[in-house]
Amino acid sequence: MTILDLIYFVIWYIVVSAIVGIVLLVVARVIVNYADMNPFSRTAITIRRFSDPLVHPIRGILASYGVDQKFAPFVTILIAILIGWFLLQLVVAVIFTLRGTITSLQRGSLSSLIGFILYGVLAVYSLLIIMRVIFAWGLTYGSRFMRFLIRTTDPILVPFRRIIPPLGRFDISPIIVLLILQLFQNAIAGTLIR
């Protein structure tokens, strides 16, 4: 097992543990809310204290879209899983790029080195575009994370948005950009990385 495998395993363990912890906490909150438990008991207060920072923002987002707020715990669980998946995909892309870069340097292969770096940059950029599309449904554009995603992805999305008109309310330019980035990744993998 290399150091990169160990790093991935540790990060995977931390992310999965965090997801399981959030799921258990939110499920405990649902059980406490629907059971006839004293809302002022030590257990109920503790569960609410730890789960409120997770559930309340989702409740506000659902209310702004006119969705019943009772679904907030379940949406919180889904969002926790989605964010964990994004983090793991980002780690996989970075580790794949690092492993390929190290191997290319050891072999002295300049074309393979360039290929791995380009492949990794495109993989991370594709993931940022996907994150922007998904988080645009729930996060306000004033949040720091959304501003980062917008600043990072706008240089490629804005020109395509000018060329490709939206279909009704749906902007399909990110889908086209992702397909083009995937095409470039496949071309890089087939030519430079092999």
The model scores a pTM over 0.85 = no
Place of tokens 């599309």: 133
In tens, the pLDDT along 43-91 reads 888 888 998 888 888 888 788 778 888 888 998 999 889 888 888 888 8
- Do 22 and 30 touch, CB atoms closer than 8 A? no
In angstroms, rounded to a whole number, what is the distance separating the alpha carbons of residues 44 and 37? Answer: 8
The domain ranges of the chain are 1-90, 109-194
| pLDDT score of 159 | 92
| pLDDT score of 139 | 66
Output the tens digit of pLDDT for each of the chain's 194 residues: 688 889 889 999 999 999 999 999 999 999 988 887 777 888 888 888 998 888 888 888 788 778 888 888 998 999 889 888 888 888 888 888 888 888 899 998 898 999 999 999 999 999 899 888 887 776 677 788 889 999 999 999 999 988 888 777 778 888 899 999 999 999 998 898 87
In angstroms, rounded to a whole number, what is the distance separating the alpha carbons of residues 18 and 14? Answer: 6
Q: How many CB atoms lie within 10 A of CB 4?
A: 14
Helix ranges, the chain (H): 3-34, 42-64, 72-107, 110-135, 144-163, 173-188
Backbone phi, psi, residue 170, to 5°: -100, 130
